[in-house]
Structure 1
Amino acid sequence: MRTRRYGSAADQVGDLWLPDGEVPDTGWPVVVLIHGGFWRHQYVRTLTEPLARDLARRGLAAWNLEYRRVPPPDVVIREEDRGGWPATLQDVADGVDRLGDLDAPVDLGRVAVVGHSAGGQLALWAAGRSRLPAGAVGAGPRVPLAAVVGLAPVADLRGGERAGMGNGAMADLLGGGSDTVPERWELADPLGLVGHGVPVLLVHGEDDESVPPTQTAAYADAVRAAGDEVEVFTGPADHMAVIDPVEPLWQRAATWLEERLGVDLRR
């Protein structure tokens, strides 16, 4: 594992995990990992490190991103290190695009993004960047995506706001509610960016009390209505089980990624 920078702020870093063994002729397929935590400062990329290790064991490189997050109101932090609108979204865009100039044996034709919880919102948003208007934060992606996976994703921001999810986390991320800064919500909500053409997998535990499965259902319905490809895996699991490498839902997701990215399953 090697930590690389994609910007000058403290949290603009990612950990690149590479598999053992002979590098494929075109480089390793690579999965960008985006952790959750309702975009709040106290949650960090160690949450998704077990997935990075598992992916590397399976023959997939993993780019485990950190990004600027929203600090508590009583915490003093340098302005350039503060997350929220638009920094958090810009970091994800820059972190994904950084794959294009990493000095590493990765295959830019086989890139997937996987996000958990609030990181699921960021992953699905990354898949929808091609739908953003010119000049919007994250518009004009440089690295095409072959697949995207939302693990218990926050996929419907307005639905989450109505349900009171995260004790105001979405308004904290975007600097106001959907009634006060509606243009930001339109640009950040994955539900409004479907039709991007990236194959989608959604994974959700039926016992999730943090992000209800209705979030996945709403996004899946929107993707189908747009005519794009989506699969949904569900099962008896809570919110954190989907990022546990030994749990069945993650294992199904990892197998889906192996198939989508063309991993040699004989490894």
Structure 2
Amino acid sequence: MPAHANRRRESARARRHQRLLPVALALTIGWPSLAAGQSTAPVSPGHVRLLRAGDVDTMAVGDPGVRIAYGADSLQFGVLRLPGVTGKARVPLVIVIHGGCWTSSFATISNTSPLADALPRHGVATWNVEYRRADHPGGGWPGTFLDVARATDYVRTLARHHPIDTTRVVVAGHSAGGHLALWLAARPGLPASSPLATASDRPLALRGVVSMGGIADLAEFAGRSRSGCSVGAVRLLGGEPAAFPERIAQGSPMAMLPLGVPSVHVAGDQDGIAPLAVREAFAAAATRAGDRATVERVDGGHFEVIAPSTTPGRRVVSLILERLGMAPVDARPPR
């Protein structure tokens, strides 16, 4: 066969390989998770796959932080990271709460470690919280709620040993952690008889909440389906919402309005866990109740918002800093 014919054949083979390479990569890494509320459609050539929980778990973290227990259970701990500070200056703090459908198999504290690691480079401390989920002994109702409440109030103890300003605290939660973050803001309004009020009679005051793909309405979310992440909400409550109206009244942010602090609700435009209509419904209800609540729509799916190397992740960092009265990330270089 002439040499020029061989070259044409090899060139055509190379072009076919280039066209098929994105599909091969997609098949290698798998499709986005149904539990994440993202599409399971095949990835077409040239299409950027949405991030999954495992992708964020493996992102580089520069500062491992210091692991500190806030309770006796092995899951009652947080990781504290501090910015570089000099003198006697005290710094604001962000409490970071991971998601995972309130279930241990979906996510752990590692899922929010990249975000908790990025924020101190902008002058704030982070307290990345682990907690018992609904399928852990002692988790669910009321243990999961009590864990995040105790971890939040433990900030006062942290401030005795570290330069933390307890008057400038924001809580940022992702997915199920967004629900818990919003609930933390609302818990001062719990009746004294509530089992969720036993964590503390003096809840730590918060400056605001950043809910990243968060679930603000447990009844709505639990009623979406009988599979996937919605089952986690049922397990958290101990049963169907209709069977436990008092638990919805004391555990769902939508039922506990007003929160009493400003909240921002941010999620990707392809996030099925926190669709725009549901976020807007909560923000509208919160505003009617007297709160300041805003909705932020960014590109991507459910996990881009907790990946600080992405554009949605950088926007989340800016929103957190703004809640603390600090300049957004794109207005000044990190420290």
1:16 aligns with 2:72: no
Q: For 2:171, what is the secondary structure of its paired residue?
A: strand
Name the CA distance, whole Å, in 2 between partners of 1:141 and 1:48. 27
Single out whichever of 2-11 and 15-24 deviates more from structure 2. Answer: 15-24
The alpha carbon displacement at 1:143 in A equals: 1.2
What's the RMSD between the two structures over aligned residues? 1.8
**Would you say the 8 A contact 1:161–1:168 is kept in 2?**
yes
Q: 2:176 aligns with which of 98, 112, 118?
A: 118
**Would you say the 8 A contact 1:11–1:66 is kept in 2?**
yes
Name the CA distance, whole Å, in 2 between partners of 1:215 and 1:96. 27
The amino acid across from 1:84 in the alignment is G
Q: 1:148 aligns with which of 185, 209, 228?
A: 209
1:100 aligns with 2:163: no
The amino acid across from 2:148 in the alignment is V
Which residue does the alignment assign to 2:124? 60
Count residues with an aligned counterpart.
Answer: 258
1:86 aligns with 2:142: yes
**Would you say the 8 A contact 2:70–2:76 is kept in 1?**
yes
Q: For 2:154, what is the secondary structure of its paired residue?
A: helix
1:168 aligns with 2:231: yes
Which residue does the alignment assign to 1:38? 101
Name the CA distance, whole Å, in 2 between partners of 1:23 and 1:190. 40
Single out whichever of 256-265 and 188-197 deviates more from structure 2. Answer: 256-265
The alpha-carbon distance between structure 1 residues 24 and 217, as it changes in their structure 2 partners (threshold 3 A), is farther
Which residue does the alignment assign to 1:74? none
Which residue does the alignment assign to 2:27? none
Deviations 1:93-140 (A, max 9, x none): 000000011121100000000000000000000010112111324434
**Would you say the 8 A contact 2:92–2:164 is kept in 1?**
yes
Deviations 1:118-173 (A, max 9, x none): 00000000010112111324434431000111000011111112212624211111
Which residue does the alignment assign to 2:133? 69
**Would you say the 8 A contact 2:210–2:319 is kept in 1?**
no
Deviations 1:21-60 (A, max 9, x none): 32663x1100000000001012210000000111111111
TM-score by length of 1: 0.91
Name the CA distance, whole Å, in 2 between partners of 1:153 and 1:24. 36
Q: For 1:127, what is the secondary structure of its paired residue?
A: helix
Name the CA distance, whole Å, in 2 between partners of 1:214 and 1:23. 47
Which residue does the alignment assign to 2:309? 246
**Would you say the 8 A contact 1:154–1:211 is kept in 2?**
yes
Which residue does the alignment assign to 1:3? 67
**Would you say the 8 A contact 1:3–1:16 is kept in 2?**
yes
Q: Which has the higher helix share?
A: 2
Identity of aligned residues (%): 38
Single out whichever of 186-195 and 84-93 deviates more from structure 2. Answer: 186-195
Q: 2:264 aligns with which of 173, 195, 201?
A: 201
1:213-224 maps to which residues of 2 (within 5 A)? 213-224=276-287
Q: 1:130 aligns with which of 163, 181, 188?
A: 188
Deviations 1:63-110 (A, max 9, x none): 000000122xxxxx6x4xx31110000001000000011121100000
Q: 2:245 aligns with which of 182, 198, 219?
A: 182
Moved over 3 A (4+): 137-141, 262-267
Q: For 2:173, what is the secondary structure of its paired residue?
A: strand
The amino acid across from 1:175 in the alignment is G
Q: Which runs of 5+ in 1 are unaligned?
A: 72-76
**Would you say the 8 A contact 2:213–2:266 is kept in 1?**
yes
Name the CA distance, whole Å, in 1 between partners of 2:232 and 2:263. 25
**Would you say the 8 A contact 1:17–1:52 is kept in 2?**
yes
Name the CA distance, whole Å, in 1 between partners of 2:306 and 2:128. 13
The alpha carbon displacement at 1:257 in A equals: 2.1
Q: Which runs of 5+ in 2 are unaligned?
A: 1-64
Which residue does the alignment assign to 2:275? 212
Q: For 2:149, what is the secondary structure of its paired residue?
A: helix
Q: For 2:127, what is the secondary structure of its paired residue?
A: strand
**Would you say the 8 A contact 1:117–1:154 is kept in 2?**
yes
